[in-house]
Structure 1
Amino acid sequence: MSALLWLSIGIGLMALEAIVPGFILFWFGAAALVVSFSTWVGLTTQLEWQLLIFFLFAISSLVLWFSFARKRFKKDGPRDITISGQRGIITSEVVPGKIGEVELFDSLNGLKKWKVIAEVPLQVGTEVEVVETSGIKLKVKPVDEQK
Structure 2
Amino acid sequence: MTFQIEYWHWVVFGMLLMMAEIVVPSFTIFWFGLGAMVLAALLAVLPDLSLSIQMVAWALVSCAFALAWFKFLRPRMVDRTKAGVAREAVMGETGQVILAPQSPRRGQVRFSTPVLGADEWEFICDEEVETGDRVMIVDISGNTLIVKKRA
TM-score under structure 2 normalisation? Answer: 0.50
- For 1:70 and 1:31, the matched residues in 2 are separated by 18
- Quick check: 1:10–1:29 contact (8 Å CA) kept in 2? yes
Residue 89 of structure 2: aligned partner:
132
Percent identity (aligned): 26
The unaligned stretches of length 5 or more in structure 1 are 86-130, 134-142
Are 2:57 and 1:53 aligned?
yes
Residue 84 of structure 1: aligned partner:
86
- For 2:42 and 2:85, the matched residues in 1 are separated by 49
Spell out the pairing of 1:93-104 with structure 2 (5 A cutoff). none
- Quick check: 2:39–2:58 contact (8 Å CA) kept in 1? yes
- Quick check: 2:6–2:47 contact (8 Å CA) kept in 1? no
Question: Which one-letter code corresponds to 2:9 in the other structure?
Answer: L
Determine which structure has more spread, i.e. the larger CA radius of gyration.
2
Spell out the pairing of 1:1-147 with structure 2 (5 A cutoff). 1-42=5-46, 44-74=48-78, 81-82=83-84, 84-85=86-87, 131-132=88-89
The unaligned stretches of length 5 or more in structure 2 are 91-139, 141-145
Give the 3 Å change call, closer, same or farther, for CA 74–82 of structure 1 in structure 2.
closer
Residue 114 of structure 1: aligned partner:
none
- For 1:44 and 1:32, the matched residues in 2 are separated by 17
Task: Kindly state the Cα deviation for residue 83 of structure 1 after the two structures are TM-superposed.
Answer: 5.0
- Quick check: 1:10–1:32 contact (8 Å CA) kept in 2? yes
Give the 3 Å change call, closer, same or farther, for CA 44–19 of structure 1 in structure 2.
farther
Task: Kindly state the Cα deviation for residue 21 of structure 1 after the two structures are TM-superposed.
Answer: 1.3
- For 1:61 and 1:50, the matched residues in 2 are separated by 16
- For 2:26 and 2:51, the matched residues in 1 are separated by 29
Task: Kindly state the Cα deviation for residue 43 of structure 1 after the two structures are TM-superposed.
Answer: 5.0
The number of equivalent residue pairs is 91
TM-score under structure 1 normalisation? Answer: 0.51
